[in-house]
Amino acid sequence: MGEINSGIWEESPLYRNAVLQLNEAGSTMHLDPNVLERLKRPKRALVVSVPIRLDDGAIAVFEGYRVQHNMTLGPGKGGIRYHQDVNLSEVAGLAMLMTFKCSLVGLPLGGAKGGIRVDPNLLSRQEKQALTRRYTTEINMIIGPDRDIPAPDVGTDAQTMAWMMDTFSQERGYAIPGVVTGKPVEIGGSLGRAESTGRGVVYTIVQAYQKLGMNLGPSTTVSVHGFGKVGAVAAEEMEMLGCKVVAVSDVSGGYYNKNGIKIRELTQYLAKNRTMVGFPGAEPITNDELIALKVDIFIPAAIDGVIHGDNVNRVSAKVIAEGANGPITADAHKVLVDKGVLIIPDILCNAGGVIVSYFEWVQGLQNFFWSENEVNDKLKATMIPAFDRVWSCMEKYKIRDMKTAALITGVERLKKAMLLRGLFP
């Protein structure tokens, strides 16, 4: 990391991995070094203190962030993460990935990300609401429908976005739904937004199989790490395509059934019991065992860095679809690519979420809302050409690494826009 002389950004492995991957793309595409240097640092970052009164009357102060990495193509776009490990550097790395994701799939949006260093599972609903409202107030001068539009990410959901929208609107005096996406449908959200990331993951898998000349069917085995907003939908969609989802996991551990887990039954069990523990349709395994399962398709859909130097040699999937952001570290990625594993990279694989966020923003600006079928058709019509552009890029540069190809494709579009707009002053 000698290339960066500013220490504050480098703290997190996610940021360092993002820069390593950017360097790799930059050298493959012979990127103008001025552009490369600029892209390694965010445009601006805001760090805020978020004090809230806890239910027991005590005051707790949390640290919050909003980082805008690049806004050349349009307003900043990216989720808000509530997690105990969040820090400025990680948020900066995630904001960088959003820049390349939005550019790659052709959206008129820049890249941003936000977060609060907090374990939301330890807060009551009231405490979470207070946290969200105070955080929104603290960052309100840099967000807005034309400036920067937050959305859900790890640890946040449609309710969080409803509180953000309400807080921002209360401060202005009228309803401003366009300030966030991923809202509940009742207050201007889009049909299909909640499922969009998981659906998009599956569209990219289908497309990858088509390119490889292989068929998805009853003999195709799938494992999903992280049965949450992304993983659960992806598992259900894979099952609907006739594949066998043999293992899934969440914070409580992994669950395995060699004949395939009935995903609908699991979802119903989870809704009723709030945990997968005790689900009769699968046997418990550890998350480590799940990562090492011999399957055709592995979908890491939880958090970053789950496949790393120490466990990469146990991974034996043929295709890995990165539902999460940064689930494979740069060193592990190299090992897998050398082994011939096809990795559908996060900025392509999980772009369905931000694509439908964009649709939500557009629908809100026009006050004209689409049917779920229309949303899904447009999602597919955006993702498949993006996948094809990445595939052609791999062929053009004669590389087998889809991550580098995706970054090159995203950076290529952005670079042209940056050079056209020029350097101010």
Give, in order, the Cα–Cα distances in Å from 16 to each of 146, 326, 328, 386: 30, 11, 12, 26
Contact call for residue 78 and ligand GLU (CB under 6 A): yes
Mask: binding to ligand GLU, 126-165, rule CB under 6 A, as x and -? -------------------------x-x------------
With CB under 6 A as the rule, give the number of residues binding ligand GLU.
12
Question: Residue with the closest Cβ to ligand GLU?
Answer: 79
Residue 113 appears among annotated catalytic residues: yes
Contact call for residue 345 and ligand GLU (CB under 6 A): no
**Cα–Cα distance measured from residue 214 to residue 217, given in angstroms and rounded to the nearest whole number:** 10
Stretch that binds ligand GLU, among 349-357, 365-373, 388-396, 412-420 (CB under 6 A): 349-357
List 40, 101, 113, 128, catalytic entry: 113
Q: Looking at this protein, which amino acid is placed at residue 180? A: V
Strands (E), 1-58: 44-53
Which residue from 389, 405, 413, 425 is spatially nearest to 72, judged by alpha carbons? Answer: 413
79 DSSP β-pair partners: 151
76 DSSP β-pair partners: 148
Residues 6+ apart with CB under 8 A from 219: 244
Contact call for residue 79 and ligand GLU (CB under 6 A): yes
**Cα–Cα distance measured from residue 79 to residue 325, given in angstroms and rounded to the nearest whole number:** 11
Which two three-digit tokens encode residue 126?
């009231």
Instruction: Give me the least distance between CB of 335 and ligand GLU, in Å please.
Output: 25
- CB-wise, 167 or 197, nearer to ligand GLU? 197
**Cα–Cα distance measured from residue 380 to residue 313, given in angstroms and rounded to the nearest whole number:** 34
Contact call for residue 329 and ligand GLU (CB under 6 A): no
- CB-wise, 205 or 293, nearer to ligand GLU? 205
Contact call for residue 70 and ligand GLU (CB under 6 A): no
- DSSP string for residues in 303-326: -TTSB-TTTGGG---SEEE--SSS
Contact call for residue 236 and ligand GLU (CB under 6 A): no
Q: Tell me which residues in 169-198 interact with ligand GLU (CB under 6 A).
A: 181-182
Instruction: Give me the least distance between CB of 197 and ligand GLU, in Å please.
Output: 7
**Cα–Cα distance measured from residue 217 to residue 221, given in angstroms and rounded to the nearest whole number:** 9
Contact call for residue 325 and ligand GLU (CB under 6 A): yes
Q: Which residues bind ligand GLU (CB under 6 A)?
A: 77-79, 151, 153, 181-182, 325, 350, 353-354, 357
Instruction: List, by residue number, the catalytic residues.
Output: 113
